[in-house]
Amino acid sequence: MPPRPISSGTISFGLVSIPVKLFAATQSSAGVSFNLLHAKDGSRLKQQYVCAQEGVKVERDEMVKGYEFEKDRYVTFTAEELKALEETASQAIEIAEFVPLAKVDPIYFDKAYYLGPDRGGDKAYRLLAEALSRSGRAALARYAARGKQYLVLIRPLEGRLVMQQLLYADEVRALGEIPVGEAELKEPEVQLALQLVEQTAREEFHPEAYEDSVRKRILEVVERKIAGQEVAVAPSAEPRAQVIDLMEALKASLAAAPARAPAGDSRPEPAAASAPEAQALGDRRPARRAPREPAAAKGKASSKK
């Protein structure tokens, strides 16, 4: 059964208008959530609002919204004033410019929606998807909905369109705010790190090969509790000892058995480094020996001499 659209809109592409439907790209129901209950009788708890100054319960009809402009100082707004500030929901997706998709850092990505063509928009929809795919570009657009104006990125994916809601620039912290210490990298360390990357590298992204093991474990415990079984609490794992020597840590990682390839990835394991390469990288592992000849073959060889 196909998913139901959650909204509709119109993409403005030059003088072309493309009617589209919006579909949720993610499933919030996939998460595991717990409710707060009264330990005494197991009843569901209700949230209440309490005045911080008087300590009394406040009903919803006594509440107003306010903006804190200084510490503990607010300017209040009525519901009518807030309604007047909302953006008019036109459902128009107005393309402002086209940019290289590779130049948009995923740090700006927020919620994603699938777009599908609405009635009469099939050909124009496919035309935009094909143009974006061939050009390697994505469309930056403004989208007004639910009283807000969103910055969105329309990008192609497998012949279809995805509308990626973006964060505004002032919603993303500057990367320069993150302190990084000064450290001198040695070339052998870099080469070992590159070898470790290649050892478990894959040419394609297969998200279906991974699952949320924590969610799976929680649901298994929930099922056992529903069945009336006792659940034993496992002791927490001991923390790993910290490896101080970076070179030794890299060598130990390379010497360990390579990780299994994810399901659906038939790419062969990377070839072992040649003897000169291994020596240059500081690899202490012994070189592979040539396969032994069968005993019968050895006997034949000796009898010919």
Section 27-32 average pLDDT: 72
Q: Is the pLDDT of residue 82 over 60?
A: yes
Tell me the mean pLDDT in the region 230-248.
75
Query: Left if phi > 0, otherwise alpha if psi is -120 to 50, otherwise beta: which for 42?
Result: left
Q: In the predicted model, what is the mean pLDDT of the chain?
A: 81
Residue 268 lies in a domain: no
- Does residue 221 lie in a domain region? no
* Residue 266 clears pLDDT 50, i.e. is over it: no
Claim to verify: residue 97 and residue 21 sit in the same structural domain: yes
- Same domain membership, residue 154 and residue 101: yes
CA distance 94 to 12: 5
Pair 115, 20: CB distance under 8 Å: yes
Q: How far is CA 36 from CA 33, 44, 107, 214, in A?
A: 10, 6, 33, 21
Cα–Cα distance, 44 to 257 (Å, whole number): 50
pLDDT level of residue 271 (50, 70, 90 thresholds): very low
Spatial distance between the Cα atoms of 277 and 279, rounded to a whole number of angstroms: 5
Q: Which pLDDT belongs to residue 253?
A: 84
154 and 281 both lie in a single domain: no
For the chain, helix (H) and strand (E) counts, in that order, are 7, 9
Token representation of residue 164:
């990626």
| Same structural domain, 12 and 151 | yes
pLDDT tens track for 135-175: 999 999 999 887 788 999 999 999 999 999 999 999 999 99
Residue 97 lies inside a defined structural domain of this protein: yes
* Shared-domain flag, residues 109 and 194: no
Residue 281 sits in which domain range? 187-199+248-253+275-285
Least-confidence region, from 132-141, 194-203, 216-225, 241-250: 241-250
- Same domain flag for 157 and 192: no
> Do 134 and 160 sit in the same domain of this protein?
yes
Q: With respect to residue 181, please indicate whether it lies within any of the assigned structural domains.
A: no
Residue 16 within a domain: yes
Same domain for 192 and 132: no
| Domain co-membership, 109 together with 195 | no
Directed axis angle between helix 187-199 and helix 246-255, to 10°? 30
For residues 281 and 153, membership in a common domain is answered with no
pLDDT in tens, 85-132: 876 667 889 999 999 999 999 999 999 999 999 999 999 999 999 999
Question: Do 156 and 101 share a domain, yes or no?
Answer: yes
Q: Is residue 228 part of a domain?
A: no
Between the alpha carbon of residue 140 and those of residues 69, 155, 169, 276, the distances in Å are 33, 9, 14, 50
Least confident range from 51-55, 102-106, 249-253, 264-268: namely 264-268
**What is the model's pTM?**
0.67
- Domain of residue 118, CATH code: 2.40.290.10
In a domain, 107, yes or no: yes
Give domain status of residue 219, yes or no.
no
Q: State whether 22 and 118 are in the same domain.
A: yes
Read off the pLDDT of residues 2-25 as tens digits, 9 standing for 90 and up: 789 999 999 988 888 999 999 999
Matching residue, tokens 């505004």: 168
Domain count of the fold of the chain: 2
